[in-house]
Every structure is written in structure tokens, then in C-alpha cells.
Structure 1
Amino acid sequence: MALSANLNVMMKAARKAGRALAKDFREVENLQVSMKGAGDFVSRADIQAEQIIKSELMNARPTYGWLAEEGGEEPGTDPTRRWIVDPLDGTTNYLHGLAHWAVSIALEHKGQVVAGVVYDASKDELFFAEKGEGAWMNESRLRVSGRDKLIESIFATGLPFGGRSDLPHTLQDLARLLPATAGVRRFGAASLDLAYVAAGRYDGFWERRLQPWDMAAGLLIAKEAGALVEPMTEGREILDEGAVICANNAIFGKFAKIIRNQ
């Protein structure tokens, strides 16, 4: 596919940050870790990765706004465009030596995500998409799975940790969903969960209490691969609500009814 200048910048930034993260990942036991909150850690590697990404993106597009997990929000002189960045999605996995984490970069234009990159550096899998141009992983075009039976489908979600208030809702979801499906996976990185739906590895995904940087890039990649994506509460905006339901077209209706308890 022909890549836009913006997407090329995003891919370069993701790869550069991913290489730095991979280098530190090999010495994970030596990372200097500080507490950011219950069950949620931030590492030196995380902060360094965000600095790398910000330098690459803002040098290329200095007028764009910025929203990132560690650095917060900064308005740009161009009010219509904003980078949305998670430099290390799956921090807890990373700090425990589990090779399932990613760099996530999205570009928002006039409130709509128009480009997204999710880079799994440990496996060298680069997922990317632009609005209206399809979704890709490295050189391969992505397409959601063709499964049309819930009992043959597997789903992904995040399990609340550290006493979060949404734990009862998730346990109720699982009680309704597990008997009707082939299983649920919890791998701990929402951006990769959405990319895996795009690749047909999962048939669907849902989660509550996500931040825009957790899902902005992954949502576009999933949509461009043919997934249906809706907010948990019908009529809301996904990035505002922070809760999403995503699946292939064939099973979305049944899946959404279970999650919404309709």
C-alpha cells in the first residue's frame, strides 16, 4: 500500500521507541521502577519511550497537539490534529518479563482517528491502518475472522486489578459469556487485543475504563480490518466513555447483547 507521510512518521517513531524498549526488556530485572498507582507502574523505559516518540512526532509535525499516558495533554497551534500515544501498553507484562506489550500511536483529525500504529517490538509485528485504506501487519493485509458461531469464538478483555470498581461488572460479563463461547483470554494490552481482532486471532474484544491512548490506534486498525466497533453504552462516544465492544460482523450482535445484558 502507499503510505502517507504522517503514517511513515508514526511507523518510524514506533519502531525507534520499540527498539529502545526491547533493549531494556532484556534487562528487565535492572529497571528502576516507581509507583504510579495501585497495580499500575511506570518505568524508566516507559518514560524514555515517550520522549523518543514525542521527539520524532513533534519534530516532524510541530503544530499538532499531544495526548499521552505519561506526559498528559498539550494543545497544538493546529487545533484540528492531535497525536494520541501510549509508549508502553502492557507495562505490567513488561516489568514481569512477559513478552506481550506494544507501542501505540494514533493521529486524530477533527475528532476522528485517521491513522494508527501498534508495534509489538518483541515479536516485530507492526500493525497499522489509515482511515479508508485497510489494515496491515507488516506486509500482510488484515481481515477479521469469519467465524459466525459464538461457541467457536474466543474473546479478549481486561480484568480489573487492584480493587477497581468495575470488577463486579466484568465478573458478570464472564458468567454470561463463558458458557456460550470457546473461551476468553486476558493478555494485558488493549492495543494488541484490538490488533488481534483485526488479524482474526481473536473474534471479539470488550473492556471498560480504558483511556484514549489505550485504544485509539487499535480501534482504527480493527475497523479497517472489517470489525464492528461500538461504545459499551449505545449513543456514547467510545473515547469519551472509555468502554468498547468489538467483533466481526457475524457475531457482533449476539456478543454485544451478552455484554450489554440485553
Structure 2
Amino acid sequence: MPYAPELIDTLKQAARAAGELLREGYQGGGPIALEHKGPSDFVTHYDKAAEQAIIETIRQAHPEVGFLGEETGASPGEGGNLTVIIDPLDGTNNFLHRLPHFSVSIAVREGDALTQGVVYQPLLDEMLWAVRGRGAFLNERPVALPPARPLTEMLLATCLPYHAKGDCATSLAQLNALMPRVAGIRVPGSAALEVAYVALGRVDGFFSQGARLDLWDIAAGIVIAREAGCAVSDLAGEADPTEWHSLLVAHPERHGELRRLLIGAP
């Protein structure tokens, strides 16, 4: 798609508006009220308010775009084939426990292609963003993928299934395949951030199969990771994220090795 700086600028503005609401909720006193959407799947007033703030900010500047939001579902735009994919609070469980690791995730899909992405950590005021073909950035600093570490020095991140949500046996088998070979595995709790963090080298890879990830969880992170030079695919090698049932993000020199270990897990 033609580079439209005003669109990515609007995405960043929307992420900051949502992030301000999340900071207020996180820093407030007392327990945060929640609703149950399903097993281990919670929603708060702040999820809904943040998503509404994102939609209003973007729609005011770009009425032509449609939306796919975790909380509000799909809504059409006034024309064209641009869809904004929103996870207003990725890491709701962390947020509920006031664990300071959550994010706002916003991506743009043109047709079937993911072309722009923003992942914002409001407590650190860190904006990771990318436009396809234009590179990835942390705030205004270009991001360059660090050199690949050997497997024995790699720190990986993943998501794990809990409370009837996902395939525990697959996750345990993959952990068993990797744990003897890597320096550490973390489960921080915001997939959007962890996928984007591979681009920074804060983790050396992200994988998930047993835990279900929806497109809004990973779309923006995928754009950022790819623009930084990461290899991104599902474990079957499928390139289209809408068809994925798993995810592996890593340095191109380590992606194949990790994929072989993960798909070979009994």
C-alpha cells in the first residue's frame, strides 16, 4: 500500500489515548471489576473504554476504515479495504492483578496483508511501531534486530493455556523439548508485547501453540517483528496469519532450529 504517514500517526495517537485510560485504571485504588467472557478470559471497563477511545480517534481522522476489535467485533468503514485490528488491553489478567506488563495493540490489514502495527506499553511510555517496507521503530528510534544468540543462550517467551483454555499437553511437550536446550523461558502475559520484544532482542524468540491466540493478539507485533528482520510463521510454515493455529517468531538464523524442536515435541 502507499505509505500514509497520517494513518500510522493516528494509530499512535489512538494508542496513547487508550494507554492514558489504562494508566488511570492501573494506578487507581481498590480491586478492578471484571466480567467473565469464558474460561480464563476476562474483560474490564477499561478494555471497553480503551477500545472505544481507539475507534473514535481513528474514525474521526479516517472514516473510510473498518474495524475488528476484541470487544466490539467487526464494523465496516465507509469504503476501501482497510481494517484496523484492535486489542485495547493485551494482558488483562496482568492488569487485574496490577502486574505492570500489558499493552495496547493496533494493526492495519489491507485486504489479507498486515501492513502497519503499533504496540504501546503505557506504563513505560514505549511505542513500538512499524509500516511494511519502512522498518520498525521504538518511539522515534529505528529498531535493528540484534545478532542471533546460540540456542544455549536464548531467552524465549511463550503463552500457556490455563483453566480449560487451550491444549495443555502440547504446551508441556514443547516446554519439555526446549527447556534442556535454552537459557530460559518466560510467560509474561502480553503476547503483543512479547512478539514485538523479539525485534528488540529483549527475548530471542516467541512461540505458542497450546494457548489460543486470536489475530488481534498478534497482528501488530507481527508487522513490527517482520520489519525488524525477524522470521515469523506458524509451525506448519503457513505464511497467512489468518490461517494460523500456532506462532513462532525468532531471528532468521534460529527460526528453523526452533521450529524443528517444537514440531518434533512428542
Q: Which TM class, normalised by the smaller chain length?
A: over 0.9
Q: In structure 1, give the amino acid aligned to 2:225.
A: A
Quote the Cα distance in structure 1 between the aligned partners of 2:201 and 2:55: 31
Residue 259 of structure 2 corresponds to which residue in structure 1?
A: 256
Shift of the 38–12 alpha-carbon distance from structure 1 to 2, 3 Å rule, reads same
Q: Distance in 2 between matches of 1:12 and 1:118?
A: 12
Match of 2:130 in 1: 129
| Displacement after TM superposition at 1:243 (Å) | 1.7
Stretch of structure 1 that moved more, 196-205 or 20-29: 20-29
TM-score (ref. length: structure 1) = 0.95
> What residue is the counterpart of 1:220 in the other structure?
223
Q: Deviations over 1:17-57 (max 9, x none)?
A: 10111011111634322222111110011110011001011
Aligned to 2:15: 14
How many pairs align?
Answer: 261
Q: Deviations over 1:87-143 (max 9, x none)?
A: 000000000010100000001112111110000001111000000111111132212
Q: Is the 8 A contact 1:228 1:249 kept in 2?
A: yes
RMSD: 1.6
- SS across alignment from 2:86: strand
Q: Deviations over 1:128-184 (max 9, x none)?
A: 000011111113221223134100111110011112341110100000011111111
Counterpart in 2 of 1:198?
199
Residue 251 (structure 1) shift: 1.1
Tell me how far apart the structure 2 counterparts of residues 129 and 138 of structure 1 sit (CA, whole Å): 10
Question: Per the alignment, do residues 245 and 28 of structure 1 end up closer, same or farther by CA in structure 2, a change over 3 Å counting?
Answer: farther
SS at 1:29's partner residue? coil
* Structure 1 residue 244: Cα displacement: 1.0
Could you say which residue in structure 1 is the equivalent of 2:76?
Answer: 75
Tell me, yes or no, if the aligned pair for 2:39 and 2:165 is still in contact at 8 Å: no
User: Which runs of 5 or more residues in structure 2 are unaligned?
Assistant: none
Distance in 1 (alpha carbons) for counterparts of 2:214 and 2:238: 18
In structure 2, do the counterparts of structure 1 residues 126 and 62 end up closer, same or farther at CA, with 3 Å as the change threshold? same
TM-score (norm 2): 0.94
Give the 5 Å matches for 1:115-126: 115-126=116-127
Alignment check: 8 A CA contact 1:116 1:128 kept:
yes
Amino acid of the structure 2 residue aligned with 1:100: H
Write the distance in 2 (CA, Å) between the matches of 1:220 and 1:123. Answer: 21
Q: What CA distance in whole angstroms lies between the structure 1 residues aligned with 2:132 and 2:170?
A: 32
Counterpart AA for 1:121: P
Q: Distance in 2 between matches of 1:235 and 1:117?
A: 23
- Separation in 1, partners of 2:167, 2:153: 27
Q: Which residue of 2 aligns with 1:211?
A: 214
Identity %: 36
- Measured against aligned partners, the alpha-carbon deviations of 1:212-247 in whole angstroms (never above 9, x if no partner) come to 100000001001111000112223622322421110
Question: How far is the alpha carbon of 1:63 from its aligned partner?
Answer: 1.8
Residue 58 of structure 1, CA deviation? 1.3
Contact residue 28 and residue 95 of structure 1 kept, 8 A: no
Is contact 1:32–1:43 with CA below 8 Å preserved after alignment? yes
3-state SS, counterpart of residue 261 of structure 2: helix
Distance 1:33 1:59 in 2: 29
Counterpart amino acid of 2:111?
A: K
**Structure 1: segments with no counterpart, 5+ residues:** none
Q: Which residue of 2 aligns with 1:233?
A: 236
Q: Over residues 178-229 of structure 1, what are the superposed CA-to-partner deviations in whole Å (9 max), with x where a residue is unaligned?
A: 1111111100000000111011111111113210100000001001111000
Equivalent residues in 2 for 1:77-156, closer than 5 Å: 77-156=78-157
Secondary structure of residue in 2 paired with 1:192: helix
Do 2:238 and 2:244's aligned partners in 1 also have CA atoms closer than 8 Å?
Answer: no
